[in-house]
Amino acid sequence: MQVHLDRVRCQGHGRCYVLAPAVFESDDDGYGIVVSTLAVNSEILPDLHDAARKGAANCPEDAITLTEG
């Protein structure tokens, strides 16, 4: 699974990094980013798939896209 966070859509509500801190974190301005250790190729380990889905499902801006496969 790959995770992409659209920085244009993100409004900094913070729900992703509150609900799924293993996958998402806050930048210095409170906007969501993918955890830096995952950011090289955005590939999420299987153990984190549920957390990634939880963050994506709770983003009110639909800023998080998951690509299964």
CA–CA separation, 55 vs 58, rounded Å?
5
Return the number of the residue (12 or 45) whose C-beta is nearest ligand SF4: 12
Determine which residue in the list 4, 11, 27, 43 makes contact with ligand SF4, applying CB under 6 A.
11
Q: CB neighbours of 34 closer than 8 A, spacing ≥ 6?
A: 3, 4, 5, 23, 24, 25, 42
Q: How far does the chain reach from its first CA to its final CA, in angstroms?
A: 5
State yes or no: residue 64 binds ligand SF4 (CB under 6 A): yes
Contact 15, 54 (CB under 8 A): no
> Which one of 35-43, 45-53, 55-63 is the stretch in contact with ligand SF4 (CB under 6 A)?
55-63
> Which one of 35-43, 46-54, 60-68 is the stretch in contact with ligand SF4 (CB under 6 A)?
60-68
Interface residue list for ligand SF4 (CB under 6 A): 5, 10-16, 31-32, 59, 61, 63-64
